[in-house]
Amino acid sequence: MSAESLESIAAAMIAPGKGILAADESSGTIKKRFDKINLESTAESRRGYRDLLFSTPDMAKSISGVILYDETLRQKTAAGVPFPTYLASMGVVPGIKVDAGAKALAGFPNETITEGLDGLRERLIEYYGLGARFAKWRGVIDIGAGFPTAYAIHANAHALARYAALCQEQKIVPIVEPEVLMDGAHTIERCEQVTNDVLAEVFAQLHAAGVRLEGIILKPNMVISGKQCTQRATPAQVAAATLRCLKRHVPGAVPGIAFLSGGQSPAEAALHLSLMNASKNLPWQLTFSYGRALQDAALTAWGGKSGNEAAGQREFARWARMNSLARTGGYQAGMEQQAA
């Protein structure tokens, strides 16, 4: 196996005790995050924030890879080192978000289709040259009255499979992210039913497209109550329902499953992951690929203010370490309060 085989890249992404930082906020999303701390979103403020995260002491002990946005992949550290080069020098695999976002699905109100397949081969070639060794594409499935429809699930799964096949052709590991949103008042049972339908279709489409499962990472939602649901499932119920759903649909050939946090608090996301990893004999590595659950506390502590960088880094490091513990079932509620 060459050093850059899909399998070896995937193995590095799911290395024991580590997980992936999703720092691929598009310009619109990072502006929303910066608005909360009254920071203007400019190319330089975005660069500076990513520099703060990536230069966190000991980050590589708990972070195996970072998903970057196109702009960030082309930016540099304060010392002038391109971010992908800098991350790779620490043993952190650089990745790139390649989808162009979820757009309204014609004829299906309330539903979206993720765009970005046109010209993707050429973009992947360029991204590989810039140092990216994995990619990410997110299909978005919303739950509400009368949706998701089978058509929207199919369309998004089909796009995910076409993206994954193109990535593998270019020696890039695809993170396949079908996200069933937490927004809404739906129960955990409804989330499980929809996640079952989505994963069944995603794996059918991956199979039809000839995607080699040994060379992908799945990035799913956890099976969880909607944010506005009045009868919230317990952490043990979330862990049990998520594992039941994954065991039914994800072949053991898939090396790793890296969850998104999806709007859970950092403590919830760490606890759910830890409870799942306390189960023995799982066929895949279970890890994290969190955006908000790794970054929210850091953004608040930093507040966009010069002089607060170390405080922001401490919060990022704290939640990275808690999730590192969760990789082996070792995180327990409240542990973060003892951690510096």
Q: Which H or E run contains 12?
A: helix 6-13
Report helix, strand or coil for 169: helix
Interface of this chain with ligand 5MM, residues 165 to 184, rule: CB under 6 A: 179
Q: Tell me if the bond preceding 94 is cis, omega within 30° of 0.
A: no
280 is catalytic: no
Sign of the alpha-carbon dihedral angle for 257, 260, 264, 270: positive
Question: Using an 8 Å Cβ cutoff, are 112 and 147 in contact?
Answer: no
Q: Is 34 in the site for ligand 5MM (CB under 6 A)?
A: no
Q: Is 316 in the site for ligand 5MM (CB under 6 A)?
A: no
Nearer to ligand 5MM, 175 or 206 (CB): 175
CA distance 94 to 130: 10
Out of 18, 123, 133, 138, the residue judged to bind ligand 5MM by CB under 6 A: 138
Least separation in angstroms between residue 83's CB and ligand 5MM is 15
Task: List, in order, residues 6 or more apart from 207 with CB less than 8 Å away.
Answer: none
From 25, 111, 177, 336, the catalytic residue: 177
Out of 139, 220, 226, 262, the residue judged to bind ligand 5MM by CB under 6 A: 262
Tokens describing residue 304: 């966009």
Nearer to ligand 5MM, 48 or 101 (CB): 101
Taking Cα atoms as reference points, which of 263, 199, 276 lies closest to residue 229? 263
CA distance 326 to 320: 10
Out of 120, 161, 293, 317, the residue judged to bind ligand 5MM by CB under 6 A: 293
From 18, 97, 136, 219, the catalytic residue: 219
Task: List, in order, residues 6 or more apart from 43 with CB less than 8 Å away.
Answer: 71, 75
Q: Is 113 in the site for ligand 5MM (CB under 6 A)?
A: no
Q: Is 270 in the site for ligand 5MM (CB under 6 A)?
A: no
Question: Using an 8 Å Cβ cutoff, are 23 and 66 in contact?
Answer: yes
Q: Is 290 in the site for ligand 5MM (CB under 6 A)?
A: yes
177 is catalytic: yes
Out of 261, 277, 285, 313, the residue judged to bind ligand 5MM by CB under 6 A: 261
Q: Which residues bind ligand 5MM (CB under 6 A)?
A: 22, 24-26, 29, 67, 101, 138, 179, 260-262, 290-293
Active site residues: 177, 219
